[in-house]
C-alpha cells in the first residue's frame, strides 16, 4: 500500500511542481503578501496547495490534512497529509532557483511516506516506511563521512522566531569552526533531502513547522540517517527542533547542539 501511495504522491507532486516551474519569474510585486514577519506568500503557493489537496484526497479520501496555506481545513484522522506546497517561497519570489514541494503522510503519530521535489532541478526525492529512499528512480543513502572536520552542515537562520537566537548562533559558530563548511540555502525540505542523499552531513534548525520537515524526515530515516530533536528524542515536530545527520557524525553534532541549547 505505501509503495503505491508513494508513487501516486510523486505524480501529484510532479503536477504541482510543473505549475510552480511555469510560474517562476512571473509573480508581480502586487501579488505578494506578507503573512507574518519575513513570511511571504503568493497565489502560486495557494494554487499549488489546492492542486495537491485535490489529488491526494482523490486516492486517499479518508485522510485529513495539515497544510501551510490553509486552503483546506485542518482535520484529525487516522491518516494525515502534511503539505508544504512551496518550501523556499522567498527564494522563489526573488528568482533564486532553490525551492521545493514537500508532502508527507502520517499514520497516527508516525511518519510513513515522504516526497520532496526540487522544482528547478527536477529532482524527485521520495521514501516510504521500509522501502528505502530514492531520487529519480535511484536509491540514495546518507553520507559515509565519519568526522566533524569532514562534515558539510546545512541550516536555516532564524527569521521570525528569535527566542533562541543566541544559542543558535553559538552552535553555528562551533560548527563553523569545527566542520568543513556551513550552507544556508533557504529550503529546509531540500536540506533534509540533501542529508538523505549525502550532499550534506548534518542539518539543524529550530522554529520549523511540521510541513517544513515531515517529508524530508522520512527521507533521512529511510536513507539510514538519524532525525531527532535537540534533546536527542524523537519529538522534532512538536518541539520544532530538528537535528538530522548520518549516524557516524551524530554524537559530535548532538554535543554541539546540546552545549549551545
Phi–psi pair at 81, nearest 5 degrees: -85, 135
Residues 25 and 106 in one domain: yes
Residues 136 and 160 in one domain: no
CATH number at residue 195: 3.40.190.80
Residues 51 and 72 in one domain: yes
Q: Residue 59 is placed in which grid cell?
A: 486516492
Q: Which residues contact 230 (CB under 8 A, 6 or more apart)?
A: 204, 206, 239, 241, 243, 257, 258, 261
- Per-residue model confidence (pLDDT) at position 25: 84
- Per-residue model confidence (pLDDT) at position 70: 74
Residues 14 and 119 in one domain: yes
Closest CA to 20 of 105, 114, 88, 103: 88
Residues 166 and 130 in one domain: no
- Per-residue model confidence (pLDDT) at position 32: 66
195 within 8 A of 244, measured Cβ to Cβ: yes
Range 228-233, long-range pairs (CB < 8 A, 24+ positions): 228/254, 230/204, 230/206, 230/257, 230/258, 230/261, 231/258, 232/258
Residues 130 and 250 in one domain: no
Domain boundary, last residue among 93, 114, 140: 140
- Per-residue model confidence (pLDDT) at position 191: 98
Residues 103 and 163 in one domain: no
Count: domains in the chain: 2
Ranges of beta strands (E only) in 165-255 are 181-183, 202-206, 226-228, 241-245
Residues 163 and 131 in one domain: no
Domain boundary, last residue among 140, 168, 190: 140
Model pLDDT for residues 217-260, shown as the tens digit of each residue: 999 999 999 999 999 999 999 999 999 999 999 999 999 999 99
Residues 120 and 213 in one domain: no
Model pLDDT for residues 10-21, shown as the tens digit of each residue: 999 999 999 999
Q: Which domain holds residue 57?
A: 2-140
CATH number at residue 126: 3.30.540.10
Residues 14 and 88 in one domain: yes
Q: Which residues of the chain have pLDDT under 50?
A: none
Residues 175 and 116 in one domain: no
Maximum alpha-carbon separation in the chain: 50
Residues in the chain: 261
Cell 508532502 sits on residue: 103
The whole model's pTM is what? 0.94
Q: CA-to-CA distance for 259 and 186, rounded, in angstroms?
A: 25
Q: CA-to-CA distance for 84 and 66, rounded, in angstroms?
A: 9
Tell me the Cα Rg of the chain: 17
254 within 8 A of 232, measured Cβ to Cβ: yes
Amino acid at each position: 500500500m505505501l509503495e503505491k501511495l508513494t508513487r501516486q504522491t510523486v505524480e501529484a507532486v510532479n503536477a504541482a511542481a510543473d505549475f510552480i516551474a511555469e510560474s517562476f519569474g512571473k509573480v508581480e510585486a502586487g501579488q505578494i503578501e506578507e503573512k507574518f514577519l519575513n513570511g511571504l506568500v503568493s497565489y502560486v503557493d495557494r494554487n499549488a496547495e489546492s492542486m495537491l489537496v485535490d489529488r491526494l484526497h482523490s486516492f486517499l479520501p479518508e485522510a485529513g490534512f495539515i497544510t501551510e496555506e490553509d486552503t483546506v481545513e485542518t482535520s484529525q484522522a487516522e491518516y494525515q497529509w502534511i503539505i508544504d506546497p512551496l518550501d523556499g517561497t522567498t527564494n522563489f519570489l526573488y528568482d533564486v532557483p532553490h525551492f521545493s514541494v514537500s508532502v508527507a503522510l502520517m499514520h497516527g503519530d508516525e511518519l510513513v511516506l515522504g516526497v520532496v521535489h526540487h522544482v528547478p532541478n527536477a529532482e524527485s526525492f521520495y521514501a516510504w516506511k521500509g522501502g528505502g529512499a530514492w531520487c529519480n528512480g535511484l536509491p540514495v543513502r546518507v553520507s559515509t563521512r565519519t568526522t566533524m572536520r569532514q562534515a558539510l552542515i546545512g541550516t536555516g537562520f532564524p527569521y521570525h522566531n528569535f527566542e533562541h537566537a543566541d544559542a543558535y548562533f553559538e552552535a553555528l559558530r562551533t560548527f563553523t569552526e569545527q566542520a568543513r563548511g556551513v550552507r544556508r540555502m533557504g529550503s529546509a525540505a531540500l536540506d533534509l533531502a540533501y542529508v538523505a542523499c549525502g550532499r550534506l552531513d548534518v542539518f539543524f534548525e529550530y522554529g520549523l513547522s511540521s510541513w517544513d520537515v515531515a517529508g524530508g524526515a522520512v527521507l533521512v530515516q529511510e536513507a539510514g540517517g538519524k532525525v531527532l530533536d535537540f534533546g536527542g528524542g524523537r519529538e522534532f515536530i512538536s518541539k520544532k527542533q530538528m537535528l538530522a545527520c548520518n549516524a557516524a557524525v551524530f554524537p559530535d553534532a548532538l554535543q554541539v547542539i546540546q552545549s549551545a541549547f
